[in-house]
Structure formats: C-alpha cells, structure tokens
Amino acid sequence: MKSGKIIIITAPSGSGKTTLVKRLMATTNNLAFSVSACTRNPRAGEVDGTDYYFFTEDKFKQLIDDDSFIEWEMVYPGKYYGTLKSELDRIWEAGKSPLVDIDVQGALTVMDKYKDISYSIFIEAPSIEILRERLLLRGTETPETLAERIDKAEHELKLATKFNKIIINDNLDLATTDLISTVEQFLS
C-alpha cells in the first residue's frame, strides 16, 4: 500500500515524552498516534486500543510468528512492545502520518526500514537525576522497575546523536514549541 511520512519519537523513560507527544497530537491535525501492542498490564486509566493493544504473551508471540510487526522489542524484562504493520497501514489509508512513540532500539529499526520517509526525534531529560525525580514523582515504579528504567536510560542517552533531532526537555513550553514546529516543517 502507498505509505506517507512517518514521525518517530523516542526518549528514555521519564524524559517528559508523553506530555510532549500529547501536546503535539492536540495541535497537529494530519498526525495520528500509532497504537503499539504490548504485554505489560494496563496502568490505571489506560484504555485498550487507545493507549496500547494489551495482548497476552502467547498472542504477541503468535503475531511475531505471523510477521505482523514492523519492529518489536522486549523493552523491559519479560515485557514485549511492538509496532503493528496494520496500524501504520490504517493511518496511511486515512491520509495521515503515523507518530510512533517507541523505545530507542525500536526507533532505530523503524528509521532503518523507512529511511526516506521518516523523521526521528530524541527527547532528552536535562540529567539522569532529574529523570530519576520525574519517575519517582510519577509513582508508577517499584524500586526494581525504577532501577531498570534508569539503567536503560543511561544506555539510551549514548545513542541520541543517531537521530535527526535532539530536543532537551528542560523547559516544557520551549520544548513543545520546538517539537511542533519541527514536525510541522517535516510534514509540510
């Protein structure tokens, strides 16, 4: 099928990416959020089919065998996340550009597969300490998952320069303006 453009946004967990993505989605009409599949449990308030397609591990592995994913990763131990081909097609068929909000490794895979039509943005928290504080404030992590997310963030920061653009999220309003203008310029 005919594909349009694709925006890839990635960041270590706790960089404020979700807030920035929500602000971008609220202002940019021709973008559609690409809903990922995952095997973690829904958090309070999360809706199946809107935030994620929440699948069992068996179902997820079946989809891997069926070659249904553009990319998939075990983002955290035992927890799978992936971008469905059908999701990108659904968005392109609706005449919009998908925004994929995925982990750094997945983002590198999508960039590689869609070199000519993608633009990738890495959102960075000002420091690992600020990132740790934000994750603590969010209150969704156990000490183990917090440590996992910090370890992963330290590794991911080393890969930031591989992306088309880095936005440092030390001021949310400035980062939002930068993100929106960058994306609108690429889509125009």
Residues at the contact surface with ligand 5GP, assessed by CB under 6 A: 13, 36, 40, 71, 73, 75, 81-83, 101-103, 106
CB nearer to ligand 5GP: give 81 or 92: 81
**Shortest CB 83 distance to ligand 5GP, Å:** 4
Nearest Cα to Cα of residue 144 among 78, 48, 98, 57: 78
Position of minimal CB gap to ligand 5GP:
106
The SS3 call for residue 17 is: helix
Cα(181)–Cα(133) distance, rounded to whole angstroms? Answer: 28
Looking at beta carbons only, is 28 or 122 nearer to ligand 5GP?
122
DSSP-derived pairing of the beta strands 36-38 and 52-54: parallel
Residue 188 CB, nearest distance to ligand 5GP (Å)?
26
Nearer to ligand 5GP (CB atom), residue 28 or residue 110: 110
Helices 143-157 and 128-138, axial angle in degrees (round to 10): 150
Measured from the CB of residue 147, what is the shortest distance to ligand 5GP in angstroms?
15
Smallest gap from Cβ 148 to ligand 5GP, in A, equals 10
Report how far residue 3's alpha carbon sits from residue 145's, in angstroms, rounded to the nearest whole number.
37
